Amino acid sequence: MLIRTMLFATAAMVATPAFASTVYDTGLLDLPSPFLGNATNGAPTGALGTAGKVSSAIGGFGAASVSDSHKDQWIQRNVIGGASVGITNYQARSGNGSAVFASPSGSGKADLEYLFATPVALSGVVGGSYDWFRDVVSNNPAAQAPVYRLILGNASGKALGGGTFLVYEPVYNGVGTAPEGAWQTATFDLSSTFWANNNNVTRAAGVDSCKSGGTCFDSLGDWISLNSSLTVIGIGVGVGSGWDGGFVGAVDNVSYNFGNAGSATFNFEVAGLNAVPEPASWAMLIAGFGLIGFAMRRRTMAPATAA
């Protein structure tokens, strides 16, 4: 299919250079922690870090519920089922921190999202990347790892009903069993495999909804070609929603490349914290706090998608 490469915004915009941004835990919303250890003012002292804000809930799905004051910044979103997400020094990457996700069961879900004040055209997306980590204490299916989402809007930059995403998962891009205990880097481009979480997007012949049991995968380039009038209103990373079992992991160095509209990389760090724990310390923390009652038995179930 012919893939358009001209990028537009919902308002006229000038080409933007690439930039790198450090995202500190103090920049997240100050929300409570359900099970990440003893916390005071959002700073967990338990199994998943000694500093950093985490969340238990922040409202519903979809960008329509996010105020303009929370645009152009990372916020905790869609946190349900006892899951948590926050920036802590547990499994630090590229500095003293990373964005840590923990979910106790298949009913859990947690996201970090960055919603743009000025959306850009889906037709201008070039690629992106992120670093991800799956902890050895996870007992959900071994193919499941944190996902990357392009959050879509209509031609005017308004959120589509129910929240609409194009979703990148490592398992559908050559990672059969997600490595545990070591950071991985996922890089995607127009040839990478994505799936759409609902029918608000146009699908190629034979491409059905994942949720109806169909064949729901296509290349990012083909999704763009069929939906060139849509916009990207944000990006997100997250875990859960349809996963089975418990998961602990992390994400860092999230990037996007929107061609002439610019590119960016976000590094998650803990403000005012210099020490990075040794791997042995992580293991002691997990054992000491009996991390959310995970069974150490691995399951071998087939992978399930995350919305």
Token code pair at residue 253:
């160095």
| 19-292 fold | Jelly Rolls (2.60.120)
Among candidate residues 156, 176, 171, 164, the one with its CA nearest the CA of residue 223: 164
Token code pair at residue 251:
């994400």
Beta bridge partners of 207: none
Span 275-300, mean pLDDT? 42
Residue 19 and residue 8: Cα distance in Å, rounded? 19
Query: Cα torsion for 80, 140, 113, 266, to the nearest 10°?
Result: 140
Cβ burial, residue 3 (10 Å; 0-12/13-18/19+): middle
Span 277-290, mean pLDDT? 42
Span 245-249, mean pLDDT? 92
Residue 278 and residue 87: Cα distance in Å, rounded? 17
Token code pair at residue 48:
């998943």
Percent of the chain with pLDDT over 70: 70
- Read off the pLDDT of residues 61-95 as tens digits, 9 standing for 90 and up: 445 556 777 889 998 888 778 788 888 888 999 99
pLDDT at 299 over 50: no
- Read off the pLDDT of residues 173-203 as tens digits, 9 standing for 90 and up: 999 999 999 999 999 999 999 999 888 899 9
What is the model's pTM?
Answer: 0.79
Residue 232 and residue 243: Cα distance in Å, rounded? 26
- Read off the pLDDT of residues 211-242 as tens digits, 9 standing for 90 and up: 666 788 999 999 999 999 999 999 999 999 87
pLDDT at 262 over 80: yes
Q: Would you tell me how many other CB atoms lie within 10 Å of the CB of residue 182? A: 8
Binning pLDDT at 50, 70 and 90, where does residue 16 land? low
> Helix, strand or coil for residue 129?
strand
